[in-house]
A and B are shown apart, each in its own frame.
Chain A
Amino acid sequence: MSVELDVFVGNTTIMDEEVYQLWLDGYTVNDAVKVRMEGGVMDECEASKDVLLSDTMDQYRTFQMCERLLHSPAKLANQLLFQIPPHRQIMLIERYYAFDDTFVREVLGKKLSKGTKKDLDDISTKTSVTLKSCRRQFDNFKRVFKVVEELKGPLVENIRQHFLLSDKLARDYAAIVFFANNRFETGKRKLQYLSFQDFAFCAGQLISNWTVGAVDNMVEDMDVDLDKEFLQELKELKILITDKDLLDQHKSLVCTALRGKTKVFIEMEGSFKNLSRGLINIAAKLTNTKDVRDFFIDLVEKFIEPCRSDRWSAADMKLYLTHYTNSAHILDTFKHQVVWDRYMGVVKSCIFKMYHD
């Protein structure tokens, strides 16, 4: 005796958020039933294991049928097959496109290609996110990437409109797309301490300040590609380290401002030239795609690590960078104030974000 067929279809599609999450997390039906049993849902309605199994299967089937629609969320609102109240639709989409920070951290900056997809089982083992869930997340990244690649207009807005995501999630996806497009290196051991949210913040800074879209908001890829002209202009900043007068002048201005305000003044004074060279060399090299990829690792190696070894506190570092940036304005012979601000504004906030344990 066996149940050959068992379906339950509601006029309003019934979806249990808990089961949806289990499905998204890649649990098999049997595992999901186990989890649900442990969760105590059985006591709620005097249910038995069979009831739970039947319910889980039904829901899994429903989700599988919905998955096609979730690939283009706009369809979910005007499809006729499932009658889903709007607030449930929003929940379905938001959860479907949600991702695990540990997983995204692994693929951030990697090419969203078949090759990467093949490595997903390694990532799955490493992050203990199920392979099924990894695939879903990876495919989501790829799908969003593909769609926005060909669109004009602001990146975050495009993602939000096409995938009906919340602002927060849309920003995260923008970061992922931005990183994938520019292939920023994030996997190095020295960068391991940074979370996805750190990178997402930095990506937001880069998108809103360094891309083409920051100056012109009606071109393709405007938020994905860095502003080439700007990168060229960055070379001009080299004068700050190549011109010895300027360098000294800059140093003395910063030191004057900092004196007495920090416990690590001596170390700041001592490492000023190194740090300044580091930052400006990063700027000057950004015309090279290769060096763009190393942007974050450079920041860590050239600035964050030296500061940390000198035991600067976050406040020290903020103070230093603020004065470092502002003092350049007082330098008479330094003419590239606009570029400097555009560059330092982003670097400063990136470093603020990245300066932690």
Chain B
Amino acid sequence: MPGKLKAKIVAGRHLPVMDRASDLTDAFVEVKFGNTTFKTDVCPKSLNPQWNSEWFKFEVDDEDLQDEPLQITVLDHDTYSANDAIGKVYIDIDPLLYSEAASVISGWFPIYDTIHGIRGEINVIVKVELFNDLNRFRQSSCGVKFFCTTCIPQCYRATLVHGFVEELVVNEDPEYQWIDRIRTPRASNEARQRLISLMSGELQRKIGLKVLEMGGNAVVGYLQCFDLEGESGLVVRAIGTACTLDKLSSGSAPNTNTHMHPNTAPASNACNSPSKDGKEPVFVEDLPSSSGPPTPFRALPTSSSPPPFSPSKPCSRQSSSSDTDLSLTPKTGMGSGGSAGKEAGPLRTLLRQQTQTALEQREFPFFTLTSFPPGFLLHVGGVVSARSVKLLDRIHNPDEPETRDAWWEEIRQEIKSHARALGCHAVVGYSESTSICEEVCILSASGTAAILNPRYMREGCLDIGCTDHRFEEPSPPNCGFCHIPYDELNMPFPAQLTYCYHCRRQKVPDVLFTTIDLPSEAAVAGKGCLIQARLCRLKKKAQGEANATAISNLLPFMEYELHTQLMNKLKLRSMNALFGLHIQISVGENMLLGLASATGVYLTALPAPGGIQIAGKTPGDLSSEHISSIQKRINDTIAVNKELYQINPPELAEEGVGSPIPEPRHRSRLFRSHSESSDELSELDLSHGKKDAFVLEIDDTDAVEDIHSLLIDAPPPTGFYSCNTENMPGISNWTSGVQMFTSVRVLRLSNANLTNQGLNKIFTDLCENLLKSFYFKLRSMIPCCLCHLNFTVAVPEEELIQVTVTAVAMTYDKEQTQEKTAEKPVNKGSLEAEEQLQFPLELCADSSSSNIQTASKISVSLFTPAAKLCQNQLLIARSAGVGESTNMSPRAASVDYGSFADRCSTWLELLRLKAHTIRRGSVKTSRRTQSLAHSVSSLERCSPLQEGRSRSLRSSRSFGGSSVTVVKMTPLSFLPGTRIIKYLGIINMFFIRETTSLREEGGVSGFLHSFIAEVFAMVRAHVAALGGNAVVSYSMKECVFMENPNKNQAQCLINVSGDAVICISETDQESSASTANTGQTGGSETDGAT
């Protein structure tokens, strides 16, 4: 018996009236785990029953502990008829299974019924006692931590990043039984909820096993998805990045101010990154014997440009789907130039080879992470993506989900080969998705081809503190990742290269598209903005293979147009790079929807984007007046946008450029490779040919429409910015206002004969109007930025378009948006500055003097960001020392510890203390690794900071006297103004809600509104019960809505996930540098939003 689960039912409140006669309820509770059920006594005639039950004990395998949820059912006792169910609570006990996370789940949970929604609350306490199990053949993977966050979580450091893990499980969907009307909708919904809960538990356990096999202890960037394949079954699949994480106790300190991502001006620096907490994770070569998932295929260790496909592969395909097995591989290679030029010394080549091999020995050198520690990414090649259209058929043997596995395997191989074609050995920011309509399924995968720093690839680099950075002079951090990774002479596609506008030594492309977040060290000009390309394509209704073929044929055109739109819109905003690119193609019965979202930014390393020129097909084709008026509008828009996004790239001194590339103008091109089958790569240049500048031809009315639609996108109103990435380029000084929201809009197309153009307009308006609504609703938060705007489109029925958006609005301090960011760390107290600087500092101090020389040389003639960056780092290093001495002052030490001890009464305070130890440890490390000298005595003096923090937390906790913990939610990996001190476990919840009285519940909007509110409430309750106060990396991965207004019915499925965390306010830390006696800072915890 490896585990004992204990549950206690304490009380209920706000129960619904179940007995009309007495207006009361006789409630009791069933507690079920696996096949064991316990019952409480009936608490008669009360809407607020107090059960105070004994501890119900379940003795179970840890395998079950991982798979099964604890089921709590609240019922109304009825002497004469069957007991009526009031509702249920499913508690995922996974967070209790690893030692560092939550130790107890205790709190009020909403009692949820799939028909009635939330009906009161129940107070439950759950504990787990785990016994050590040394069984080698164990099937459980208790102890493996899961994170949705796509960067190295705060308060951890990655000692090893093992790489890609994936798994999928399939089952029959109980829903088909519902269609058959075999049981009540409630029973069917509950069966489905339970099954999916079980399946995700199983999936997580299996992935955990793979991680253990690889020698890791955690999965970061865990992305779990459901495919509701209808008749053919239910697929739950997940991907992630296996890591070995160390809780930061001896390592460097956690990232203390992720909310301060710089990226602002070129002046901003590398010391403030979203992932710097993760310090240099080290990628080691997996031993072949333990590498990769247990699939029969293994990539060949040597590299050859066509992907090494196993010959057995095609056999595993279903014959029915192989015909339509058309995969498309649009590749947006806006590459960069790593190997070009003078830097290719023999040592470097060697290292590169080493890296190459290390990664190639892995089956899939993929990383689901989107942001990385500084210096980790060497070069970024561009976006690689692959899509494949498949026909679904029933999954015959759920235990052997070979077909689905093979499908994904195929796509991943394709991605890998694309990355290789771009001269890259790894894919970062990798994700997978599906779109299903009837029996057709589009599988998509995308990522960013990249070259990772060889330094992280060598074995034995675990001691990250003292890695020798001088080994090789790295490319300047703020432009290096832009340099092309592929060979200039042997480019995978024709691209326009120039010398990097920063270092002038290596080649960069004119435009860069990526799926990752903007590296924190990247030098940008101005602010970023959300750029979306939207597209609708009608298709004929068809069945089976004909349908799949039709879709396959449409896909390349859609991708091409989406890319054209993106490119045009990017130029219109005078920007030259896209981050966080996500292209979703959604299939419906009679149309395909395409939505590409990304955050545009001006990278100062890349050439300035050229304008857009309008040209008639032939001169005089259209009145030149007309053309020139359009041209003028476009030029005006570009000028306005430049102003709006404050894009003022540093002026370039001409003599510094010395570009060998003859063309004075920069061109942009779109390239795509289109592979007929995944085995052979044939590339297709669909670029706009050899035209100077970006020329749009007006040859028919469609083209005019296109241009008009280009100009439709209204800029956000004053005071608003928007992006779809983790951090907003150009804004870093967040204040505490946070408002996460979800919005769903469904449009019914009534007009039967719509054209593609008409549809495009409707779809574009839908998205634009949504954005306008957000701006309006959140106007009280100005100045504010909508971050991580995540749009999901679907075609739930023939004439419906559904758009679901989840995002977070965050307020920022307008006053110090830009220039001051560089100085900011100085005010932050010494510790932070020091920790964050660990890497960059060493860079300055240790790296060969040539680095500094180069930098300063440039700075003579032009004020490049590279130079400024270096200076800033030195400056900060100095002030960090000063800060330390402030802490050593007697004033800081004179805080009374007595009162502090008094306060340590609650567990929360104890946690603060823990955090304190961590921080102390971190001081030690940074001292060891840095050349800055500090006296050891300063160590003890750090405590006063701690004191202040605990005090302020106490005050914020008691704010307002409300009995409900405020739980913040954000799709980002951080909360501004706070520091995450503990990850409590993953939240992964699936709910179904159904109604047979749609009108009475306020129609479809009323129904969905209350359901989403209920889902939020249940997530918050679970987090609060784990002892947390926030959810980070929150996402709503599924929101499937079906209605039948004629029958007054509707059904909705929602799947959400995120990381439950405890975070503490940072306000006191900031002020602690000036005074140790931090005052009460209550209220900072509450959402600033209204």
Choice from B744, B959, B960 contacting A7 with Cβ under 8 Å: B744
Segment touching A, from B204-212, B549-557, B747-755, B917-925: B747-755
Whether A9 contacts B1087 in the complex (CB less than 8 A), given A2-B747, A55-B776, comes out as no
Chain A residues whose C-beta falls within 8 Å of the C-beta of B1005 in the assembled complex: 5-7, 57, 61
Chain B residues whose C-beta falls within 8 Å of the C-beta of A89 in the assembled complex: 962
Chain B residues whose C-beta falls within 8 Å of the C-beta of A2 in the assembled complex: 747-748, 750
Give the distance to chain A from B719, nearest Cβ to Cβ, in Å. 9
Shortest Cβ distance from B808 into A: residue: A11
In this complex, which of A3, A7, A64 has the most chain B Cβ atoms within 10 angstroms of its Cβ?
A7
Chain B residues whose C-beta falls within 8 Å of the C-beta of A79 in the assembled complex: 14, 964
Chain B residues whose C-beta falls within 8 Å of the C-beta of A14 in the assembled complex: 739, 741, 777-778, 1089-1090
Shortest Cβ distance from B969 into A: residue: A11
Interface string of A37-53 (1 = CB under 8 A from B): 00000001111101110
Whether A48 contacts B777 in the complex (CB less than 8 A), given A11-B741, A61-B1009, comes out as no
Chain A residues whose C-beta falls within 8 Å of the C-beta of B1041 in the assembled complex: 5
**B739–A11 touching, CB < 8 Å:** yes
Segment touching A, from B60-68, B386-394, B1015-1023: B1015-1023
Interface string of A46-76 (1 = CB under 8 A from B): 1110111011011001101100000000010
Question: Does A335 touch B at the CB level, under 8 Å?
Answer: no
Question: Does A86 touch B at the CB level, under 8 Å?
Answer: yes
Choice from A15, A65, A87 contacting B1010 with Cβ under 8 Å: A65
- In Å, the complex CA distance between A293 and B843 comes to 90
- In Å, the complex CA distance between A57 and B1003 comes to 12
Question: Does B968 touch A at the CB level, under 8 Å?
Answer: yes
**A77–B747 touching, CB < 8 Å:** no
Chain A residues whose C-beta falls within 8 Å of the C-beta of B1009 in the assembled complex: 7, 9, 58, 61-62, 65
**B776–A52 touching, CB < 8 Å:** yes
Whether A1 contacts B1087 in the complex (CB less than 8 A), given A80-B118, A81-B1017, comes out as no
Interface string of B516-558 (1 = CB under 8 A from A): 0000000000000000000000000000000000000000000
Whether A80 contacts B1004 in the complex (CB less than 8 A), given A2-B748, A3-B745, A75-B14, comes out as no
Chain B residues whose C-beta falls within 8 Å of the C-beta of A88 in the assembled complex: 1090
**B1016–A86 touching, CB < 8 Å:** no
Shortest Cβ distance from B754 into A: residue: A1
Question: Does A12 touch B at the CB level, under 8 Å?
Answer: yes
Question: Does A10 touch B at the CB level, under 8 Å?
Answer: yes
Give the distance to chain B from A2, nearest Cβ to Cβ, in Å. 5
Question: Does A78 touch B at the CB level, under 8 Å?
Answer: yes
In this complex, which of B714, B773, B1008, B1087 has the most chain A Cβ atoms within 10 angstroms of its Cβ?
B773
Shortest Cβ distance from B744 into A: residue: A7
- In Å, the complex CA distance between A270 and B182 comes to 94
- In Å, the complex CA distance between A288 and B942 comes to 78
Interface string of B11-26 (1 = CB under 8 A from A): 0011000000000000
Question: Does A4 touch B at the CB level, under 8 Å?
Answer: yes
**A5–B745 touching, CB < 8 Å:** yes
Shortest Cβ distance from A8 into B: residue: B743
Chain B residues whose C-beta falls within 8 Å of the C-beta of A58 in the assembled complex: 777, 1009
| B957-985 CB contacts (< 8 Å) to partner A | 959-964, 966-969
- In Å, the complex CA distance between A157 and B1087 comes to 31
Shortest Cβ distance from B720 into A: residue: A45
Choice from B14, B777, B1089 contacting A8 with Cβ under 8 Å: B777
**B746–A86 touching, CB < 8 Å:** no
**B961–A9 touching, CB < 8 Å:** no
| A6-25 CB contacts (< 8 Å) to partner B | 6-16
**A4–B747 touching, CB < 8 Å:** yes
Interface size for chain A: under 10, 10 to 19, 20 to 34, or 35 or more residues?
35 or more
Question: Does B769 touch A at the CB level, under 8 Å?
Answer: yes
Chain B residues whose C-beta falls within 8 Å of the C-beta of A352 in the assembled complex: none
Chain B residues whose C-beta falls within 8 Å of the C-beta of A64 in the assembled complex: 1002, 1006
| B749-775 CB contacts (< 8 Å) to partner A | 749-751, 762, 769, 772-775
In this complex, which of A47, A65, A79 has the most chain B Cβ atoms within 10 angstroms of its Cβ?
A79
**A61–B1006 touching, CB < 8 Å:** yes
Chain B residues whose C-beta falls within 8 Å of the C-beta of A3 in the assembled complex: 745-748
Interface size for chain B: under 10, 10 to 19, 20 to 34, or 35 or more residues?
35 or more
Question: Does A85 touch B at the CB level, under 8 Å?
Answer: yes
Choice from B964, B1008, B1012 contacting A80 with Cβ under 8 Å: B964
Shortest Cβ distance from B959 into A: residue: A86
Give the distance to chain B from A82, nearest Cβ to Cβ, in Å. 7
- In Å, the complex CA distance between A114 and B728 comes to 59
**B110–A80 touching, CB < 8 Å:** yes
**A7–B743 touching, CB < 8 Å:** yes
Question: Does B742 touch A at the CB level, under 8 Å?
Answer: yes
Choice from B740, B746, B776, B966 contacting A5 with Cβ under 8 Å: B746
- In Å, the complex CA distance between A132 and B1005 comes to 22
Shortest Cβ distance from B1009 into A: residue: A7
Question: Does A276 touch B at the CB level, under 8 Å?
Answer: no
- In Å, the complex CA distance between A54 and B1013 comes to 17
**B739–A85 touching, CB < 8 Å:** no
Chain A residues whose C-beta falls within 8 Å of the C-beta of B1020 in the assembled complex: 11, 80, 83
Chain A residues whose C-beta falls within 8 Å of the C-beta of B167 in the assembled complex: none
Question: Does B501 touch A at the CB level, under 8 Å?
Answer: no
Interface of A is mostly: mixed
Chain A residues whose C-beta falls within 8 Å of the C-beta of B1006 in the assembled complex: 61, 64
**A51–B800 touching, CB < 8 Å:** no
Shortest Cβ distance from B968 into A: residue: A11
- In Å, the complex CA distance between A261 and B954 comes to 64
Question: Does B1014 touch A at the CB level, under 8 Å?
Answer: yes
Shortest Cβ distance from B117 into A: residue: A81
Chain B residues whose C-beta falls within 8 Å of the C-beta of A8 in the assembled complex: 741-743, 773-774, 777
Shortest Cβ distance from A7 into B: residue: B1009
**B743–A9 touching, CB < 8 Å:** yes
**B963–A9 touching, CB < 8 Å:** no
**A54–B773 touching, CB < 8 Å:** yes
Give the distance to chain B from A21, nearest Cβ to Cβ, in Å. 15
Chain A residues whose C-beta falls within 8 Å of the C-beta of B773 in the assembled complex: 8, 51, 54-55
Question: Does B121 touch A at the CB level, under 8 Å?
Answer: yes
- In Å, the complex CA distance between A80 and B1021 comes to 7
Choice from A50, A77, A81 contacting B963 with Cβ under 8 Å: A77
Chain A residues whose C-beta falls within 8 Å of the C-beta of B1017 in the assembled complex: 80-83
**B741–A9 touching, CB < 8 Å:** yes
**B777–A1 touching, CB < 8 Å:** no
Chain A residues whose C-beta falls within 8 Å of the C-beta of B748 in the assembled complex: 1-4
**B769–A83 touching, CB < 8 Å:** no
Question: Does B222 touch A at the CB level, under 8 Å?
Answer: no
Give the distance to chain A from B961, nearest Cβ to Cβ, in Å. 7
- In Å, the complex CA distance between A57 and B744 comes to 14
In this complex, which of A45, A65, A75, A86 has the most chain B Cβ atoms within 10 angstroms of its Cβ?
A45
In this complex, which of A5, A50, A81, A87 has the most chain B Cβ atoms within 10 angstroms of its Cβ?
A5
**B1016–A83 touching, CB < 8 Å:** yes
**B1002–A77 touching, CB < 8 Å:** no
Chain B residues whose C-beta falls within 8 Å of the C-beta of A44 in the assembled complex: 776, 779
**A86–B962 touching, CB < 8 Å:** yes
Chain B residues whose C-beta falls within 8 Å of the C-beta of A47 in the assembled complex: 772, 775-776
Chain A residues whose C-beta falls within 8 Å of the C-beta of B963 in the assembled complex: 77-78
Chain B residues whose C-beta falls within 8 Å of the C-beta of A16 in the assembled complex: 1090
- In Å, the complex CA distance between A51 and B1004 comes to 19
Seen from chain A, the residues whose Cβ lies within 8 Å of a Cβ on chain B are: 1-16, 44-48, 50-52, 54-55, 57-58, 61-62, 64-65, 75, 77-83, 85-89
**6 interchain residue pairs of minimum CB distance:** A86-B960, A5-B746, A12-B1087, A10-B741, A9-B1012, A11-B740
**Can you offer 21 A-B residue contacts whose CB atoms are under 8 A?**
A3-B748, A4-B800, A5-B745, A5-B802, A6-B746, A8-B741, A8-B742, A8-B743, A9-B1013, A10-B739, A11-B968, A45-B775, A64-B1006, A65-B1009, A65-B1013, A77-B963, A78-B962, A80-B1017, A80-B1021, A85-B966, A86-B961
Seen from chain B, the residues whose Cβ lies within 8 Å of a Cβ on chain A are: 13-14, 108, 110, 118, 121, 714, 717, 739-751, 762, 769, 772-779, 800, 802, 959-964, 966-969, 1002, 1004-1006, 1008-1010, 1012-1014, 1016-1017, 1020-1021, 1041, 1086-1087, 1089-1090
